[in-house]
Structure 1
């Protein structure tokens, strides 16, 4: 359990370090992501981005467990 928490923490830190480069890829602005802005209220639902990240993580974890 401790090893898994350390790996998850390192992964989050790596994502934080590489965020400026990841933002340039267009994640969060894919077709299917919902963004509504009216007045002072904005709503954002990254549906397509969430599905894409889920598929990629599932493939990576599947490959690691083989």
Structure 2
């Protein structure tokens, strides 16, 4: 359990670092009208979902 938490912490650190410097991916929806900005990170959500699915698949194989 401790090893899994350390690995997930490292992965979160890497993802946070990448997202900080990349910002948004192409395909994310940004609508600016006047004082209002709407941001919907659809591509970012899909990429994170795929990465998390792969991580959980790998952990379930070693269980």
Q: Please classify the TM superposition score into its range, dividing by the shorter chain length.
A: 0.5 to 0.7
Q: Which aligned segments of 4 or more residues in structure 1 are displaced greater than 6 angstroms?
A: none
Q: Deviations over 1:9-60 (max 9, x none)?
A: x85xx847x74x2311x1x511110001111111000000000000000000
Say whether 1:29 aligns with 2:30. Answer: no
Output the CA distance in 1 between the equivalents of 2:45 and 2:58: 20
Q: Which has the higher helix share?
A: 2
Partner of 1:60: 55
